[in-house]
Amino acid sequence: MSDFDWLFFTEVLVGGLLSGVMYSLVAIGFVLIYKTSGVLNFAQGALLLFAALTFVSLVERGVPFALALAVTFALMVVIGIAIERTVLRPLTNKPPITLFMATLGLSYVMEGAAQLVWGTQVHALELGIEDLPFDVGGVFISQFDIFAAAVAAGMVALLSVFFRYTRVGLAFRAVADDQFAALAVGLRLPWIWATVWATAGLVALVAGLLWGARLGVQFSLSLVVLKALPVLVLGGFDSILGAIVGGLLIGASEKLAEVYLGDYFGGGIESWFAYVAALAFLLIRPSGLFGQKLVERV
Amino acid sequence: MTILSKFKIAALAAGVALTNALPAAHADEQYFPLQSYRVGPYAAGGTGFFGGFIDYLNLINTRDGGVNGVKLTWSEAETQYEVERGVEAYERLKSNPNVAAWNPLSVGIAYAMIDRITADKVPLITINHGRTDSTDGRVFPYVFPLLLNPYSETSGIVNYIASKEGGPESLKGKKIVVLYHGSPYGKETIPIYELLAEKFGFELQQIEVPHPGNEQQSQWLTIRRAKPDYVVLRGWGVMNPVALKTAAKTGFPVDHIIGNVWSNSEEDVIPAGEAAKGYTAITIQASGTEYPVVKEIVSAVYDKGLGNLEDKNRIGSVYHNLGIVNGILNVEAVRIAQEKFGNRTLTGDEVRWGFEHLELDPARVEALGAKNLFHSINVTWDNHEGNGYVTFQQWDGKKWNVVSDWIAPDWALLRPIIEKSSEAYAEEKGIKLRTAEDAEAATN
């Protein structure tokens, strides 16, 4: 082990953890919807694409940054409410697979709509944060990744406060715990669901901007959902903390696996390694690290 | 973009064939079926390429009244770059009369069409790409990887690196990393890089990036540790800008990254922003609008409201110019075939004959208004690539600039490898090798 390059190991590990934060950002959008309505929203990637494309298209047309951000957020809120009204409400009480298929269809509609409205060209997105490394004791760390991690931390803190200390947040938690009990005490489920979808739209906007700055704003942005799925399996579908921890674990493990095990499998293993890790974990703990255990009376 | 044009895209998305110039069973028309992709993840490339191709066909119709009086027609079917949609589009479009050639601009769709077009006796053009061994016309009579197959591309890139280092002998002891897309396309050149490494004595490391390539941290950290002299980027789609950004993030100099033909467009560098400045990539056609043929397209097609690109700023972009060059090669093949078979509508097999005699030397290229847009081509019955030359372009943050002369790949070195592969394919499929006499005969 004396020949082992610990500096390089640290660099891979840190890079993986920071990549994991980016996965978590997408996963949080899933968690919000799943937590309150039990729907695995496959359209989260398409929402992310739509948000980023809208924002960058507005900026390119001369709209100031802050105004573009506000307009895009408003649009995402409207879209969230529209989805609840036109897709989810008519499907209330339908089996989960029906709702999942509805969001799958919705993702195609959103992807098509994004290209229809804003065109097919790719766009660069500059957030004013340079993606250059700085040297910490020989380990290169990306400034942009640090910024993304800070944004993710801020968002988790904000959502935690929101869920814990606001009336709307408490209503979310009530609905998440028991929809029928929430109805019985007078909570308006459709309004809560619409608010949740709007919040997921905000998360999609933030994730879309960060991922867009990293990849460029283009159709492939919608594929980042594939990075979020193993994170959800590992962390639990209904836990924001789980999304963060799951993202860190998946990010670090897939990068380390690619570097240290990749050669044994011919390389290019990180995309499926994350799923293998998630599947293995699923067998041990089906509800994920922080997900609620489902107990049903039969 | 008008609302009407957006609905046009919507119609395409629904898989509806959009007929721009309706094919009809007319004696003096030659039809091009276009399996295009204007929506989906690769729409930026599809709209540019098919836009350029259609613009050139339009130029020939409006300026010359067609090819020797034979009007060119075409219609499109949306594939979204998906193989099954491409095959379905093929089945739908092939019923149109007077098909000249197929141009899907997709490796997957082209592979799925080889048996079909061979049975139909209609040429399949895979400009810039396709399966390498289809260069061998003895085995693949109807497939044409015009100007550049993947092995020639590899040789061209290594020759360029050699020229930068002071000659082939300077490659000895150098280290080159090839970062390739985790797909059959990406893996196709693995053996040829190994062969060239052995020949020139450079150290080689080939690293796979899993599809789609939106995460490359571990690959670039490995590269940083390997300390190569050059990295060859054999990417596709989102993998390219991510590679450039991650290279910057890990401190690898961008001017030592050389991209292949599917890593050489504006769409590959614009999303990478500052990180792409100084990046160099191979091409068989230059970008820009200064070439006479491109200027003519602007004046004779766009100024009359017939242009295919919705955004005129994309005129002269990499994919648009590739489409124009593809148009030139298709039209000239028809013209050459007409010299033998008469100025009339040709069968697919007669157009195949035209492609197999497609010789455009630099003087003819200049006469076509394409001097320095591309170099030359010389297709023969058994060499379906046609010895295309390559050049290299560097991104300055706003546009590509040509930074090399036209470079010849090492065709003599590559030919035996290609023949070995094609002969194995022929044996597997029970194909009898074609002779020059077989190739001369064309059915009408």
Name the band, by pLDDT with cuts 50, 70 and 90, for residue B27: low
Name the band, by pLDDT with cuts 50, 70 and 90, for residue A116: confident
Residue A274 has pLDDT above 60, yes or no: yes
Give the DSSP H/E element, type plus range, for residue B33.
strand B29-36
Lookup: tokens for A42: 């496959």
* Range B25-53 average pLDDT: 89
pLDDT at B8: 47
Is the CB of residue A136 less than 8 Å away from at least one CB of chain B?
no
Look up the CATH number of the domain holding residue A15.
1.10.3470
Residue B10 has pLDDT above 60, yes or no: no
Task: Check whether residue B144 and residue B154 sit in a common domain.
Answer: no
CB B143, CB B431: distance < 8 Å: no
B347 assigned to some structural domain: yes
**Would the CA dihedral through B164, B236, B128, B421 be positive or negative?**
positive
CB contact under 8 A, A270 and B210: yes
Task: Check whether residue B237 and residue B305 sit in a common domain.
Answer: no
Is the CB of residue B51 less than 8 Å away from at least one CB of chain A?
no
* Range A42-50 average pLDDT: 92
A 57-86 → B contacts, CB under 8 A: none
Name the band, by pLDDT with cuts 50, 70 and 90, for residue B124: very high
Best of B4, B216, B249, B274 to disrupt the A interface (most A CBs within 10 Å) is B249
Strand segments (E) across B102-158: 124-125, 143-144
Of A12, A223, A272, the CB nearest to B218: A12
**C-alpha span between B413 and B401 (Å, rounded):** 30
**Residue B400, phi then psi, degrees to nearest 5:** -85, 140
**Among candidates B137, B71, B54, which has minimal Cα distance to B326?**
B54
A 104-123 → B contacts, CB under 8 A: 112, 115-117, 119-123
Round the average pLDDT of chain B to a whole number and report it: 92
A146 assigned to some structural domain: yes
Q: How far is B49 from chain A (nearest CA, A)?
A: 13
Name the band, by pLDDT with cuts 50, 70 and 90, for residue A2: low
Is the CB of residue B14 less than 8 Å away from at least one CB of chain A?
no
Is the CB of residue A261 less than 8 Å away from at least one CB of chain B?
no
B264 assigned to some structural domain: yes
Q: How far is A270 from chain B (nearest CA, A)?
A: 7
A214 CB neighbours in chain B (<8 A) are: 242, 245
A215 CB neighbours in chain B (<8 A) are: 214, 238, 241-242, 271
Is the CB of residue B269 less than 8 Å away from at least one CB of chain A?
no
Share of chain B above pLDDT 70, in %: 93
- Spell out the alpha helix ranges (H) of B277-408: 292-297, 318-341, 348-355, 362-367
B78 assigned to some structural domain: yes
Question: Could you report the per-residue pLDDT of A167-177, keeping only the tens digit for each?
Answer: 888 888 888 77
* Range B99-122 average pLDDT: 95
The CA-based dihedral angle spanning residues B329, B334, B340, B341, taken in that order and rounded to the nearest 10 degrees: 160
CB contact under 8 A, B9 and A121: no
B271 CB neighbours in chain A (<8 A) are: 122-125, 215-218
pLDDT at A294: 63
Beta strands B400-402 and B391-395, pairing class: antiparallel
B215 CB neighbours in chain A (<8 A) are: 19, 227, 270
- Domain tally, chain B: 2
Residue of B nearest to A258 (CA): B218
Task: Check whether residue B113 and residue B34 sit in a common domain.
Answer: yes
pLDDT at A102: 93
B248 CB neighbours in chain A (<8 A) are: 131-132
A1 assigned to some structural domain: no
B 165-204 → A contacts, CB under 8 A: 182
Task: Check whether residue B21 and residue B7 sit in a common domain.
Answer: yes
CB A79, CB A139: distance < 8 Å: no
Other C-beta atoms closer than 10 Å to the C-beta of B114 total 19
Give the DSSP H/E element, type plus range, for residue B222.
helix B217-226
Structural domain of residue B114, as residue ranges?
Answer: 3-148+288-378+419-440
Count CB pairs under 8 A between chains A and B.
129
Reduced to 3 states (helix: H, G, I; strand: E, B; else coil), residue A210 is helix
Best of A53, A122, A142 to disrupt the B interface (most B CBs within 10 Å) is A122
**Among candidates B252, B253, B345, which has minimal Cα distance to B26?**
B345
Task: Check whether residue B264 and residue B129 sit in a common domain.
Answer: no
Strand segments (E) across chain A: 133-136, 139-142
B155 assigned to some structural domain: yes
**CB-count burial class (<10 Å; 0-12, 13-18, 19+) for B416:** exposed
Lookup: tokens for A241: 């903390």
- Domain tally, chain A: 1
**Among candidates B70, B73, B74, which has minimal Cα distance to B27?**
B70
**Among candidates B44, B180, B37, B41, which has minimal Cα distance to B109?**
B37
A131 assigned to some structural domain: no
Other C-beta atoms closer than 10 Å to the C-beta of B361 total 12
Task: Check whether residue B127 and residue B158 sit in a common domain.
Answer: no
Other C-beta atoms closer than 10 Å to the C-beta of B89 total 25
Rounded to whole angstroms, what are the CA distances from B329 to A79, B33, B90? 47, 16, 21
Look up the CATH number of the domain holding residue B321.
3.40.50.2300
Residue A219 has pLDDT above 80, yes or no: yes
Residue B13 has pLDDT above 60, yes or no: no
A 11-30 → B contacts, CB under 8 A: 11-12, 15-16, 19
* Range B19-46 average pLDDT: 77
Residue of B nearest to A23 (CA): B215
B414 assigned to some structural domain: no
A219 CB neighbours in chain B (<8 A) are: 40-43
Share of chain B above pLDDT 90, in %: 85
Task: Check whether residue B344 and residue B432 sit in a common domain.
Answer: yes
Question: Could you report the per-residue pLDDT of A180-216, keeping only the tens digit for each?
Answer: 888 888 888 888 888 888 888 999 999 999 999 988 8
* Range B73-93 average pLDDT: 95
B53 assigned to some structural domain: yes
How many CA atoms lie within 13 Å of B173's alpha carbon, on the beta-carbon side?
Answer: 3
B15 assigned to some structural domain: yes
Lookup: tokens for A132: 């250059």
Cα B228 → chain centroid: 29
CB contact under 8 A, A119 and B10: no
B388 assigned to some structural domain: no
Is the CB of residue B362 less than 8 Å away from at least one CB of chain A?
no
A130 assigned to some structural domain: no
Give the DSSP H/E element, type plus range, for residue B56.
helix B43-64
Is the CB of residue B272 less than 8 Å away from at least one CB of chain A?
yes
A106 assigned to some structural domain: yes
Name the band, by pLDDT with cuts 50, 70 and 90, for residue B417: very high
Task: Check whether residue B206 and residue B91 sit in a common domain.
Answer: no
Question: Could you report the per-residue pLDDT of B194-250, keeping only the tens digit for each?
Answer: 999 999 999 999 999 998 888 898 999 999 999 999 999 999 888 999 999 999 988
For residue B212, say if its preceding peptide bond is cis, omega within 30 degrees of 0: yes
Name the residue with tokens 């990254």.
B257
Longest alpha-carbon distance in chain A: 66
Least confident of A238-252, B351-365, B368-382: A238-252
The interface pTM score, or ipTM, of the predicted complex is 0.85
Rounded to whole angstroms, what are the CA distances from B172 to B346, B372, B434? 52, 32, 40
pLDDT at B376: 98
Longest alpha-carbon distance in chain B: 65
Name the band, by pLDDT with cuts 50, 70 and 90, for residue A112: confident
Best of A60, A107, A120 to disrupt the B interface (most B CBs within 10 Å) is A120
* DSSP class of B278: T
Task: Check whether residue B318 and residue B195 sit in a common domain.
Answer: no
Task: Check whether residue B24 and residue B62 sit in a common domain.
Answer: yes
CB A133, CB B251: distance < 8 Å: yes
Rounded to whole angstroms, what are the CA distances from B3 to A109, A281, B126? 18, 49, 34
